[in-house]
Amino acid sequence: MSAGEREAYRVLVDRYSALAHRTAVLLGAGSDADDVVQEAFVKAFQALPRFRAGEPFRPWLVRIVVNETHNARRGRRRARLTLERAAPRYDPPVGADEPVERALSGERRAVLLAGLAALRSVDREVLTCRYLLDLSEAETASALSMPRGTVKSRTARALDRLRAVLGEPAPVEVSDA
Amino acid sequence: MPEAGTGLAGELRLLGAEVASAATPRADLADRVLARIAEPAASRRARPPGWLRAAAVLAGLLVAVGLAAAVSPQVRAAIKAVFGVAGVEIRPGAGPTPAPSPVLPGEHRTDLPGAGREAGFTVRVPAGLGPPDEVTVADRRVVSLVYRRAGIRLEEFVGTLDLNYEKYLGAGMAEQVAVGGRPGLWFAEPVTLVYVDRDGVAHPESARRTAGHTLTWTDGDVTLRLEGVRDRAAAVALARTVR
């Protein structure tokens, strides 16, 4: 492989390393997130021949990170433990200059993380892609290799399950708010 | 950042945004990845040589060059998807030495209608700059409009095929912008341009360092490159008047 090709790939790695890392952390890669991300970028490079011109790169990469996180978790068979250990890494720096009204309280954050950790991985993945990574329905469909309609229904179901885990009532069907 | 929304979904979006600021990848990630993919170099060498030549023959193009090194079509496709401008390719690296007085092959002066006839497309002109001081056409493909007093150069060429421009530059040097809803790229740093003809032959006598501040965008099947406007917003505003 030429130096030029590697340098070109560096552009992609630099641009998407934050997204890849966030994906791995959120899906429970825990302390292995760095390794998972590195491996994902290596695999993505090897998979580039299957990348179709015109296809969006973001969900394509997320899909590889999702698979790689799966592999890492399966490899260790300590998924739940890892997730719990991963939780402190979410803590934003104290005194971050976020507008107060936008930030979650530390307690709420912990509750949400615990709730996510308690979900089955299919539910956690769809919520992670759709909301935590803020991918569109189409991007989520591509990232998780499922039809778009399935994303819609799975997202709704996963939200319901998260609510159940959190012991919160389903919202009243109005939702203009 | 899109609106977080309300309810549980909104909270999850906030959570994602907080994680984004708290969890950062290791600083040497790219180095490690590149080292890893360099390992099986022997097996990967088998990639068809001369793809650049093949692509160039297909496209016939102006190329901004740093390294004359091959980049696979897959990497190109991925980068193109990322940067989203047809006919533009991003390559990092330093450029070749610029020629003392760079000239494109067969470049000669003409007028606007003449340039359009020769290049085979309707030449676009920015509003408000008056008539260009100089119009040239090169290789029956590249039309250049020069506005001396404003220090502006506008290049146009048909970019229907994959490869028209390559720009060699460091990561993060290009910024995505929208020009009237069309995808564009803003380069705040200078790049080096080298013309590559229809046979894929690079012309070192054309190597030219841009002044920096370049905006590239596409209008239909024509790719445009505006050079010389220092301010990004002003460049985009001017580009929007190009019809």
- CA-CA distance, A28 to A25, in Å (whole number)? 5
Highest mean pLDDT of the ranges A70-79, A140-149, A156-165, B121-130: A156-165
Look at B129 and A74; give whichever has higher pLDDT.
B129
Using the Cβ of A38 and the Cβ atoms of chain B, whether some distance falls under 8 Å is answered with yes
pLDDT digits (tens, 9 = 90+) for A5-50: 676 778 778 888 888 998 998 888 877 889 999 999 998 888 877 7
Q: Å from A84 to nearest chain B CA?
A: 15
- CA-CA distance, B217 to B176, in Å (whole number)? 10
Question: pLDDT value at position A109?
Answer: 84
- CA-CA distance, A19 to A61, in Å (whole number)? 9
- CA-CA distance, A28 to B240, in Å (whole number)? 46
Which secondary-structure segment (H or E) carries B187? Answer: strand B182-187
Query: In the structure, what pLDDT confidence band is assigned to residue B161 with cuts at 50, 70 and 90?
Result: very low
Instruction: Give φ, ψ of B97 to 5 degrees.
Output: -65, 130
- What fold, for A3-88+104-166? Butyryl-CoA Dehydrogenase, subunit A; domain 3 (1.20.140)
- CA-CA distance, B177 to A13, in Å (whole number)? 21
Concatenate the DSSP letters of all residues of A104-163 into one string: PPHHHHHHHHHHHHHS-HHHHHHHIIIIIS---HHHHHHHTT--HHHHHHHHHHHHHHHH
Query: In the structure, what pLDDT confidence band is assigned to residue B202 with cuts at 50, 70 and 90?
Result: low
Q: What is the mean pLDDT of residues B143-168?
A: 70
- CA-CA distance, B19 to B9, in Å (whole number)? 15
Query: In the structure, what pLDDT confidence band is assigned to residue B200 with cuts at 50, 70 and 90?
Result: low
- CA-CA distance, A160 to B4, in Å (whole number)? 19
Q: Which of the residues A2, A127, A160 would you substitute to probe the B interface, choosing the one with the greatest number of B C-beta atoms within 10 Å?
A: A2
Look at A17 and B58; give whichever has higher pLDDT.
A17
Q: Å from B21 to nearest chain A CA?
A: 7
Query: What are the helix (H) ranges across B68-154?
Result: 73-83, 112-119
State yes or no: pLDDT of A152 exceeds 90.
Answer: yes
Task: Kindly list the residues from chain B whose CB atom is less than 8 angstroms away from the CB atom of residue A132.
Answer: 12-13, 15-16, 19
Highest mean pLDDT of the ranges A16-25, A45-54, B14-23, B217-226: A16-25
C-alpha distances out from residue B20 to A90, A96, B13, B195, Å:
9, 13, 11, 42
The percentage of chain A sitting over the pLDDT mark of 90, rounded to a whole number, equals 26
Query: In the structure, what pLDDT confidence band is assigned to residue B61 with cuts at 50, 70 and 90?
Result: very low
A122 closest CA partner among A82, A162, A91 = A162
Q: Which of the residues A2, A10, A11, A55 would you substitute to probe the B interface, choosing the one with the greatest number of B C-beta atoms within 10 Å?
A: A11
Task: Kindly list the residues from chain A whose CB atom is less than 8 angstroms away from the CB atom of residue B26.
Answer: 34
- CA-CA distance, B35 to A2, in Å (whole number)? 12
Question: pLDDT value at position A40?
Answer: 94
Going by the DSSP 8-state scheme, the letter that residue B133 receives in this structure is S
Three-state secondary structure call for residue A10: helix
- CA-CA distance, B172 to B188, in Å (whole number)? 10
Q: Which tokens go with A29?
A: 């890669």
- CA-CA distance, A122 to B121, in Å (whole number)? 52
Nearest residue of B to residue A5, measured between CA atoms:
B71
Q: Do B9 and A159 count as a contact with CB atoms less than 8 A apart?
A: yes
Instruction: Give φ, ψ of B146 to 5 degrees.
Output: -115, 130
Sign for the CA dihedral angle at A151, A156, A161, A166 comes to: positive
Residue B80 contacts residue B159 (beta carbons within 8 Å): no
Using the Cβ of A156 and the Cβ atoms of chain B, whether some distance falls under 8 Å is answered with no
Q: Å from A77 to nearest chain B CA?
A: 23
Three-state secondary structure call for residue B164: coil
Q: Å from B231 to nearest chain A CA?
A: 24
Closest CB to A90 among B23, B29, B33 = B23
Q: Which tokens go with B88?
A: 């533009």
Highest mean pLDDT of the ranges B5-19, B114-128, B210-224: B114-128
State yes or no: pLDDT of B11 exceeds 80.
Answer: yes
Q: Å from B203 to nearest chain A CA?
A: 19
Q: What is the mean pLDDT of residues A67-93?
A: 58
Long-range Cβ contact pairs of B4-11 (< 8 A, separation 24 or more): B4/A102, B6/A177, B7/A171, B7/A175, B7/A177, B8/A159, B8/A162, B8/A163, B8/A168, B8/A171, B9/A131, B9/A159, B11/A104, B11/A108, B11/A112
Q: What is the mean pLDDT of residues A104-125?
A: 86
C-alpha distances out from residue B174 to B154, B170, B187, B191, B221, Å:
18, 8, 5, 11, 22
Nearest residue of A to residue B29, measured between CA atoms:
A38
Task: Kindly list the residues from chain B whose CB atom is less than 8 angstroms away from the CB atom of residue A104.
Answer: 11, 14-15, 18
How high does pLDDT run on average in chain A? Answer: 78
Question: pLDDT value at position B201?
Answer: 61
Q: What is the mean pLDDT of residues A63-89?
A: 65
Closest CB to A18 among B15, B25, B74 = B25
Question: pLDDT value at position A76?
Answer: 64
Query: In the structure, what pLDDT confidence band is assigned to residue B66 with cuts at 50, 70 and 90?
Result: very low
Using the Cβ of A103 and the Cβ atoms of chain B, whether some distance falls under 8 Å is answered with yes
Which secondary-structure segment (H or E) carries A12? Answer: helix A3-26
Highest mean pLDDT of the ranges A84-88, B19-23, B193-197: B19-23
Question: pLDDT value at position B74?
Answer: 55
Q: Which tokens go with B5?
A: 């929304």
Closest CB to A90 among B11, B19, B66 = B19
Q: Å from B88 to nearest chain A CA?
A: 13
Q: Which of the residues B1, B39, B75 would you substitute to probe the A interface, choosing the one with the greatest number of A C-beta atoms within 10 Å?
A: B75
Q: What is the mean pLDDT of residues B157-161?
A: 56
- CA-CA distance, B9 to A130, in Å (whole number)? 9
ipTM over 0.90: no
Least confident of A14-28, B13-27, B53-67, B74-88: B53-67
Q: Which tokens go with B110?
A: 């003409």
Strand-strand pairing, B88-91 and B108-110: unpaired
Q: Do A10 and B18 count as a contact with CB atoms less than 8 A apart?
A: no
Closest CB to B77 among A15, A25, A51 = A51
Look at B204 and A95; give whichever has higher pLDDT.
B204
Task: Report how many Cβ contacts below 8 Å link chain A to chain B.
Answer: 183
Task: Kindly list the residues from chain A whose CB atom is less than 8 angstroms away from the CB atom of residue B19.
Answer: 22, 25-26, 90, 132
pLDDT digits (tens, 9 = 90+) for A26-35: 888 877 889 9
State yes or no: pLDDT of B87 exceeds 80.
Answer: no
Please give the distance of CA B221 from its chain centroid, rounded to a whole number: 15
